[in-house]
Chains A and B, each alone.
Chain A
């Protein structure tokens, strides 16, 4: 974990609600895909966690949906605006847990950490297949970005307005050695019910600190109590106890 000041290098709307934010600064604490950052946002007391979509030595990228006061402010930030960030938080994905042909299953902005994961998996000669689920054609983003990595990418929409109609689970009829998933909890639960292969899930809970001190985000798992911020956010599909 590191604390630092980051400047907005790019803030691009990807559709009506989702934006891509590139923050420039010392990103060296971000070592593994699946890790997250805690941003201090103007007018809010607690920091807010954001999954990291990509990073290099001197910047990181987050994809976020405008859902409340904090993300509204973030949506309207300008190039050069500065943010205080804690970086390198959480455990990140195990790059071997999904085998050689893992499914990367993302629901909405849940696809964010899977992009960096896809890059790392490809570097290790693995052949991930991305299944990206959205509600409708107007919600879609990052399909081209995944394809540009050379990743076979299947898009599903609930209303059938683009790609395969239905939920991401309907596109899971592919040979796979394991899976990585991030998205709404109901989606991840359904994903786990569709395969007997080992999986890794990136979970989300209301956090206080984001670095393991306050016990605000602790959940019960089959392997004991886990702080989502410190012992997660990535948990094995076999240890999660669903609360929904």
Chain B
């Protein structure tokens, strides 16, 4: 059997498969179905300083080969996450985990990261500067290189943990943002977050989502994500986590060839709760079919 392990910022993962934030909760729902310790790691639900109730209904819409969401970062706030969710998570998942963080100012991002820095089970902080569903925060940092660098520096200043900056696809030049984050001290990048999109209901003649717009994910965005990972890989030397529409072991390999060190699986978990386990199970055979002995050697192999 081939070697599935990869190294993400000095922490060894058994395999590169990571459920993406917002599609895996805190892991409990999936732990009822299978032993989630088969995962490389996972990125838990996006965390903000204060509790957020999220956007009004409806928050979900079907699209061709994908879905829209406008959940709006519903979460109980960082202190409740540390106090209530992470001890429960520790019972079902025994590896270092990724904490996904959002905010409305650089100082707020830093404060959330400072509080999470004290939690031993967290291996990485994933700084989400790309949420399209909140106003006055999130994506507004991810679409401007200066603001992206400012958040990255602020977070790096308060934590010893590895900092992954999660980038938005809703930009003209992904390479410029990627370089700005690397220069500001990011240890890794993850991309892409969802693509800003919408649907309109023909009967009501109104947008389907109460938030008007939402984030597109699912197989529809895979080629777009692949292209952006390719461009980011050309621009930076820090590791990249590739995500966007991945649903098979073949997609994982393709994303790694484009430049990803590891991958995240998002929407696929919602359609098939076993998606990550199924992909991990399929990797050895798929690697063999393509003559791959060591998965980690694939990264950037298509360049």
In the complex, how many residues of chain B place their beta carbon closer than 8 angstroms to a beta carbon of chain A?
35
- In angstroms, Cα B66 to Cα A44, docked, is 9
Chain A residues, Cβ within 8 Å of B57: 205-206, 217-219, 243
Q: Is B23 an interface residue (CB 8 A)?
A: yes
Q: B7: CB under 8 A from chain A?
A: no
Find the residue from A46, A208, A209, A217 having the highest chain B CB count within 10 A: A208
Q: B224 near A: Cβ within 8 Å?
A: no
The listed residue (A3, A44, A46) touching B60 by CB distance below 8 A is A46
Residues from chain B with a CB closer than 8 A to the CB of A212 are 25, 29
Interface string of A200-244 (1 = CB under 8 A from B): 000001111101111111111000010000100000000000010
Mask, B1-44, CB within 8 Å of A = 1, is 00000000000000000000011110001101100000000000
A122 contacts B by Cβ under 8 Å: no
Q: When the two chains form their complex, are residues A206 and B74 in contact, meaning their CB atoms are under 8 A apart? A: no
| B145 at the binding interface (Cβ < 8 Å) | no
Q: Which residues of A contact B59 (CB under 8 A)?
A: 206, 208, 215-218
Secondary structure class of chain A's binding surface, majority of residues? loop
Please tell me the number of chain A residues within 8 Å of chain B, measured between CB atoms: 26
Distance to closest chain B CB from A11 (angstroms): 23
CB pair A215–B54 under 8 Å, yes or no, is yes
Interface 9-mer from B85-93, B119-127, B175-183, B268-276 = B268-276
Chain B residues 55 to 72 lying within 8 A of chain A, measured CB to CB, are: 56-67, 69, 71
**Which residue of chain A has the shortest Cβ distance to B218 in the bound complex?**
A45
Whether B53 is near chain A, meaning CB under 8 Å from some CB there, is yes
Across the interface, B33 reaches (CB within 8 A) one of A1, A207, A218, A219, namely A1
Chain B residue at minimum C-beta to C-beta distance from A84: B272
Interface pair B274/A3, CB less than 8 Å apart: yes
Q: Is the beta-carbon distance between A86 and B273 smaller than 8 angstroms?
A: yes
Contact check, A46 vs B24: say whether CB atoms are below 8 A apart: no
Contact present for B74 and A46 (CB under 8 Å): no
State whether A213 touches B271 (Cβ < 8 A).
no
Q: Which of A3, A40, A209 sits near B269, CB closer than 8 Å?
A: A209
CA distance A219 to B58 in the complex (A): 10
- Residues in chain B near residue A75, CB distance under 8 A: none
Q: Which of these, B54, B61, B64, B218, contacts A206 with CB under 8 Å?
A: B61
Asked if residues A3 and B271 are in contact (CB atoms below 8 Å), the reply is no
Q: Give the CA-CA distance A69 to B54 in the complex, in Å.
A: 29
Question: Nearest chain A CB to B48's CB is how many angstroms away?
Answer: 13
The answer, yes or no, to whether A55 is at the interface (CB within 8 Å) is no
Interface centre among B66, B270, B272, B274 (most CB of A within 10 A): B270
Instruction: Sort A-B residue pairs by CB-CB distance and give the 6 closest, nearest first.
Output: A209-B270, A216-B60, A206-B58, A206-B60, A213-B25, A212-B29
12 A/B residue pairs, CB under 8 Å, sorted by A: A1-B33, A40-B271, A45-B65, A46-B62, A46-B67, A46-B271, A206-B57, A213-B30, A214-B60, A214-B71, A218-B54, A218-B57
